[in-house]
Structure 1
Amino acid sequence: MELTPTALALLGLMLAAWTFGAVWLVVGALQRQRAARSARSTVRRLSRIIDNSPAIPLLVRPDGKIEGPDRLAAWLGLDKLPDFISELDGEEGGLSEYDQKELFEAIRRTQKTAAAFTMVVTPRGSQRSLAVRGQLADPVVASGGAAMVWFFDFSESQGELSRLRAETARARNDFAALVGLIEAAPMPMWFRGPELDLRLVNSAYVAAVGAKDAASVVEQQVELIETVDGLTAAQVAGQAHSRDLPVERIVQATVGSQRRTLRVSDLPLGAEGVAGYAIDIEEMEEQTRAFRAFRAAQRSMLDQLSVGVAQFDANKRMIFANQPFQRIFALPNAAQVDPPRFERFLDMARDQGRLPEVRDFPEWRDELVSWFIEDDPVEDAWSLPDSTHLRIVAQPMPDGGLVLVAEDRSEQLALSATRDTLLRTRTATFDSLFESLAVFAPDGRMQLWNRSFPAIWGLPDEVLDKHPHVDQLLDRISNRLARPAQRKAIGEVVREATLERKERGGRVVLSDGRTLEFAGVPLPDGNGLLTVMDVTDSTKAEEALRERASALEEADAVKTRFLANMSYEFRTPLTSIGGFAELLQSGMAGDLSDQGKEYVGAIIASVERLSQQIESVLDLTQSEAGLLPIATEEVDLLNFTTQIVRAREEAIEAKNVTLDLRGDKGAGSVHADPRQLGRAVGNLLDNAISATPANGRILVALTRRKSGARIVISDNGEGMKPSELARALDGYRLPGDDGGDGKRGLGLPLARQLIEAHGGRLEIQSEKGAGTTATVLLP
């Protein structure tokens, strides 16, 4: 059977339609599969969010069947969630019978009326508090009148709420007790509101102002305190409220029918207002006046005594000192205006020499301070440097103070103590001196000596105990002399001091190598004093110093020769290198390529830079050695500085720096070496140009001083820290310094040496980020 073309065409269309339908079915199936996977993922994510949320849902259907997560069963103390709402009342867990009934009724009411409810339940055997919120479930979640119940755990909030309720009740009770206390207080008390009007007064206040009751006082705003210095009581309370500081004052007021003295206090209470109270101190004031009169009479009587009396309070501060006490201890008049403490009084007396000389004054002062806590009076005797003898009696007072009595007994003890004091002083003086001393009578016999005298000569003490004659003494020490003939010189010194009343000295060397220096001094009583001192160490030190001085002179000569040699050795080859480079640059050796000309230019620039460095090193070294030649002449300061600035125009313009030269003919002239001073000022100016950034500013100011001239060079560059400035003045390179101009290495030390060589001074102030100022002071 043969098909016609039309039949074939129809068959092809049917096959194509069939293929298109199959493809469309496959694509639709894939889209539904992807949507299903997305829905499952969304469901899992929402389920996990609900599981981790602070609230747990419970779905209650109309027949009482419930659906919810197992986490709710754990909150309720159950092993698993029951099937019906009526089974939430368990024996060991779940809700109590009352809570379960209330929850069941609330859910039924919501299912019937669609009204939401809120309640609080507590599971059996648990302190957990659960907030329950119920509402009608969304039809999408469940249809047919189901209820959605949410459980929230707010145990901490419930505990905090209980604590706040307890604190509120306690505060209410405390406030009631405080109000009762204020009402029962015997002193007037009041309270003002934020507007400073009276809000509350107690019975004492009502009685003080003579009012009917507290309500009438508040209504009429009756003030207890009168206007003082133009300020009412409310205005003073306003000052306390505005400053938030208590204000206390003593005023006169009418209490009842009497005029009384009151101590009034206004206490700010923040935004609530100001509280106040008044204390009657009239009796205290009367006692104070009586005590002041008694104290004035007592002190007037004490001023008539010849014995010094001073009183110190419990804080160890002097509250009274009569005239004899002030005279004995030389107290200044300022001590009456600003009474000193006990320790300060001792310091003042010690500065005036009115205390005994002690070895450890702080420790001795602490011992005197302990008098305040003694149980019984303390008596002591003080001998002052001016031979004043004081009898000191310290009487502790019951209030913790101290009464100090000083009696001058110098006249009573002067006659009996003069001879003993002189003997002890002489003996102590002799024994405490470093020199060896011996006193000889005019007949040549030894009278006195100190412990060092026999020790320095190596003599036994029993020899001197016999008071030997000077000749016998010389016989014993002659064998210890390096040259025994020198014994005659010692005898002559003693004879001239005792008989001829002349001073004479000498020096001897002992056989053991020691060197002794001796001298004879005539004494006012006709005796002669022989002093002997061991000068071995000083003699050796003197010899060592002489040797060192010779070595330094030789080193200085070597340095001079070295500088002269190095000046030639450095400059000769450097001059040759520069000359040959200039010949190459001029074409004497033929034409050079561009690169060769560049090399020759670099050589010439390096030679010039190295020449400057060598000259700086030699000048700095010569300046430190004091060999730098300075040829001074009269230099006009303005022209001199202008030339230095003009010489650096190219460098200034290259960095686009603004230089401000301030000065006139009034700067005058100075006597200086133009070359050396120009190098010093030029180095400072080069440093300023190098440190100043592009578009920066440099100030050069010339001023005339009374004793000379001053040059100030200031820039607004980065500046230096103190440590960096110290390194720069010592000649060390700063961190990050490329040393392009060769000035920061030795420029500052050389400038300082050159300025000091002219008798001037260089001062540099620098601050990081603010710039540097160099000041040259010339005589």
Structure 2
Amino acid sequence: MRWQRGRAWGIRGRRSAFRRLLAFAAALVAAAQPASAQTAGPLPPEHVVLIALLVGTVGFALAATIVLIRARARSEAENRALRLELADRKAAADRAEALADAEDQRLVAWPKPGAPPVMIGRLAARTAPQDRAAFLAFGTWLAPESAAALDDAVARLRERGESFGLTLETAEGLHVEASGRTVFGRPAVRFRDLAGDRRALAALEARHARMTREVAALRALFEALPHPAWLRDTTGGLEWVNPAYARAVDAADPAEALARGLDFLDSAARRSVAEAGPPVFARRIQAVAAGRRGAFDLVHVALPSGSAGLAVDMSAAETAESQLRRLAAFQARTLDLLTTAVAVFGPDRRLSSSNAAFRDLFGLDAVFLSSHPEENAVLERMRAARKLPEQADFRSWRDDLLKAWESLDAREDLWHLPDGRTLRVIANPHPDGGLTWVYENVTAQLELESRYKSLAWVQGETLNHLAEGVAVFGPDGRLRLHNPIFAEIWALDAAVLKVRPHVAEIVRACRALHDAPEVWDGVMRRIAGFAEARATDAGRIERADGRVIDYATVPLPEGQTLVTFVDVTASVQVERALIERNDALEAGARMKNAFLRHVNFELRSPLTTIIGFAQMLADRGVGPLTDKQSEYLGYISTSSAALLAIVNDILDLATVEAGAIVLDYAETDPARVVGAVTEGLADRIRARGLTLDLDVAEGIGRFLADEKRLRQIVYNLVANAIEFSEEGGRIAVATRRRDGLVEFVVSDEGCGMPADLVATAFERFESRSLGAGRGGAGLGLSIVKSFVELHGGTVAIASEVGRGTTVTVRLPPAPIATAEAAE
């Protein structure tokens, strides 16, 4: 054996070393002897010391060698004994492991705290995993209750040394016995498969424990139920009742109910149970519980050991069902009043209910709908009536439509029907599997939306192209809407305006161009103030850069405010120029009128003197005149009279312009006015060889007018007609009533007037020499227009070159508000 061979080699080595030591000592002695022999005298002291040391060393070495040899011999004997003991123990362990493997068991021991466990043996593969780590994970192969119990027992064994014995159930339903105890102070657990009677006993114990738990759970459940429950024996006597039973029969507790034998069922209910026979009776009955009669769903089960019963109070359910039926009827009536079509389909995809709007919308027969048709049949009817959107592939469209049954969320779609209507269709799934279809006619709504969008677009475009700046602020004072002109007027950044700034920020930016606190404070109060009475405000801003801005704030609904800014710089400048020009014109007119009045006064006096003396010279009583003198005197009289007429006309116009003239209204005869005028002009008519046609309507009557001014009107018109008529021509003067007005018409057959002269005929001093006579001063028609308008009438001219002229004057029969005379 190897250990014996090693031991022999050790002994031989030690002997060889000892022999070498003796030889070395002998050599030293031999070396010392010749030296001493040669000297033949006493040894030197150093030789004596050397020899003594040598002898001592050799002696010590011999003693140590002897001791070492003996100790080594004892150690080798002990090693041989230990090896023999280890071999015996290993053999015993092998025999124990073989024995454990032979009996389908596994030992788990923990040699010391914190050390991994030692495992011996194995269980059947169908019972527990063979892998070490998988076996120790008890929860992976044991039932949860068994794993928890084993973990708790092992923990107590390792911590406190408490022994245990458990029957464990695996996840596969098999059983294992586990026993734990301390062995030589170390915890150990043995797991054994159960076989034969032990296995059957363990299964029975597990089944018994499970049934005990189930019975306890059921008893606890029935104890907690609010419904009466009971057990009877074979004779019909009560064995057990729950607290709800005791309350139903007015007992203090279940014990009192059992002691008194109080029965929950009356005789009629018991008779119904007996007549129904075993094994199960389930029916709704009427019973009295706690002094109140109600409906109960009774379940009575016949058992070999007696019977069991449970009565569920359905009074509240019956009330709820009744209310639900009434609610359903009310909802049906409400749905019929809706204009929105509604159809409800049950889980079987058959129509359960619909409203009148659904029938009317799709033209479906009430009898057909009352037969609860399938949804496909309803769709076919709607398709035949052309009440569905036209589709190239109807089958695919229908299949896609019916996918709403597979969705958990509501589905919405738009149907465009052939008749032009648009329906908003909503499919809303029910929790119980049904489906509700809602069909809303949104044709008008879509049209309104389209019109609204178009209107909004038009308004936006209009707003963007307005010449005035517009800004709308919300009730929170933030900008809601604006146009580009608003930003341009106040030089505001478009990017800043896009973020809807507050009015305070905009005011700060605007003050850079016009810092007027009183203006901007007022604007801010009207936009962001809390005043209940919101009023419109307006004002004008004259900026330092010369621009003039008119602004206005207008309150809008819902607390909004509109602010507008208009750049009126150009119009203000024009207005100021016009005002200045008007002032100048008014001053010139005043000067002109003063001049005319002065000139008329200065002219009238000498003219009156000239006319007076001319008339006096023409009187034969003064003295005879030669023919030549008489001719010259006639020229003087005629020219003076004409000049006096012009002066009078100028004075009349000045009086009209000054507003100093007052009409003297009186009953006036139109025929007499026309006759007087034509008679005064008869000499001139004859001198020109003209023919005068008078046409005064019969019964024209009288009307209110200033006769003097009316004569001037007619006189000027006839005088103009004479002036512009050719010799031998014809003049017509007519007067009549037309459309409630008094009408004077003077026409001639003269040369007529071109269109540009007609447009300016009523202006002052507008005169052109067109006829046979020379042109006048150009005041006649201007006076006519002024006097006609003072009467509240109108005057019109119709003229054509070479055809003559017609002037028509229309006057009201009674005075009205005096119109301002035309300039």
Q: Same fold (TM over 0.5)?
A: no
What TM-score do the two structures reach when normalised by structure 2? Answer: 0.39
Whose radius of gyration is greater, 1 or 2? Answer: 2
* TM-score between both structures, scaled by the size of structure 1: 0.40
